[in-house]
Amino acid sequence: MTDGNVGALVLADRIHGRLYYDPEIFAQEQRRIWNRVWVYLGHESEIPARGDYVRRQLGLQPVIMVRGDDNAIRVLYNRCRHRANLVCHKDRGNAAELTCPYHGWTYARDGRLVAPTFGEAYEASLRQEDFGLTPVARVAAYRGFVFASATASGIGLDEHLGHVKPLIDFSIDRAPAGELELSAGTQCVRYRGNWKMMAENSVENYHGPVVHKVAFALSDRRAGRVRASITKRLRDQEDETLSFTGGHMAEYLPRQGSPTVKREPSPARRAYLDAMIATYGEARARELTETLPSFFFVFPNLLFIQTHLRRIEPVSVDETNVYYQPALLKGAPTEINDELLRFHETSFGPAGFVAPDDMQIMERNQAALRATGDEWLFLGRGIHREHHLADGTVSGQFMDETQLRGLWRHYAHLMATP
């Protein structure tokens, strides 16, 4: 398949199975998506001190996100300028200097070459400033979230985030200090499936009552909540699916489930609400604490899922890493963040009731793609009742596939752009 033909595999209400298993398409994705767009790399709280660094991937390209002596965060290609070894091979750490383990070339925290080893063998005309670690073309941050683009030209980060920014703000504003902290650790899962499956599955509730039936029942019982049946959802319900321009998508959950038992708030929850009121005022504080945050996806690799963030990292056409990081609420009482962690462990931890289900389902999806009798996958649920808004947002009912169709429209556009 030559560049530019991928669009023929994305129709209004269906997509072709080759998009998940064709190595040539995967290679095109690296060129036309991962090496061009704004890709989420990490959060500023992961490298709080000067010299802190984390290893990350910009698509398939290894990079280092490091905090310099000037407190600035830089993203550098993780490739020694001598013989291309990984300068950083640990996932994270703190370093006074970055030293290549192959021949010992040493770099400052800002990427400058400090000294090549046994320098007397090099010509006097060698300019050390010409051999620093190569910076990624563009780096920008929004409220602590660091993004990078391997291409010097293109839209800015603010334009890229577009209409998904209010959802990001809502998730962050749930912290009394107005910041999230990703300090509770990282859980990495590698599944045998295409990277796009994680984006689709994470922001699609149609599978929930089937795949997560046990998890939903346990959660509702603990919360004293009655979940509306699939057949009783109304057309004008507040819960909905949203497709935003730029390939972003969301499940909007303002009233997902209602408690049947009113409980007196615990001292910790009362303290949390008081802290929120002090920061935001009572009306906004009530909105932030009484409304469930949306599940949403920032194209191409960042997911906000209730208790945590997920970072998608493609490995090959049928193998993907996904990193789960609990998002703690800075300024909230310890008990509140502990409660968040326990819920995260119960649902999304290695022995949780939700995440392992999803991994198995996605691997079964990838296996089923080997059956090539009819390769078109149907994404038409709710297409006849979508609402198209003036700003490009498309709204559908909660279990419709509106958001998935928006993702694929944007994908096809990017893959067709020279």
Residue 176 or residue 354, greater confidence: 176
- Lowest-confidence pick of 65-69, 110-114, 176-180, 262-266: 262-266
**Chosen domain end from 149, 180, 203:** 149
Task: Based on the fold, state whether residues 319 and 294 are members of the same structural domain.
Answer: yes
Task: Based on the fold, state whether residues 48 and 144 are members of the same structural domain.
Answer: yes
Q: Is residue 20 part of a domain?
A: no
d(CA 174, CA 272) in angstroms, rounded, equals: 10
Query: What does the pLDDT average to over 167-189?
Result: 96
* Cβ-based burial of 327 (10 A; exposed 0-12, middle 13-18, buried ≥19): buried
Q: Is residue 47 part of a domain?
A: yes
* Cβ-based burial of 163 (10 A; exposed 0-12, middle 13-18, buried ≥19): middle
Task: Based on the fold, state whether residues 205 and 354 are members of the same structural domain.
Answer: yes
**Chosen domain end from 80, 114, 149:** 149
Query: What does the pLDDT average to over 85-107?
Result: 95
| pLDDT bracket for residue 181 (50, 70, 90) | very high
The per-residue pLDDT for 236 is 45
CATH number where 97 lies: 2.102.10.10
Task: Based on the fold, state whether residues 143 and 173 are members of the same structural domain.
Answer: no
Instruction: Encode pLDDT of 238-272 as tens digits.
Output: 568 999 999 999 998 765 544 545 678 899 999 99
Task: Based on the fold, state whether residues 108 and 210 are members of the same structural domain.
Answer: no
Task: Based on the fold, state whether residues 303 and 240 are members of the same structural domain.
Answer: yes
Closest residue by Cα to residue 332 from 107, 172, 100: 172
Task: Based on the fold, state whether residues 68 and 184 are members of the same structural domain.
Answer: no
Which range marks the domain in which residue 232 is found? 163-415
Residues of the chain above pLDDT 70, percent = 92
Task: Based on the fold, state whether residues 134 and 167 are members of the same structural domain.
Answer: no
Residue 33 or residue 3, greater confidence: 33
The per-residue pLDDT for 382 is 94
Instruction: Encode pLDDT of 99-156 as tens digits.
Output: 999 999 999 999 999 988 887 788 877 788 889 999 999 999 999 999 999 999 999 9
Name the CA radius of gyration of the chain, rounded: 23
Q: Which residues contact 155 (CB under 8 A, 6 or more apart)?
A: none
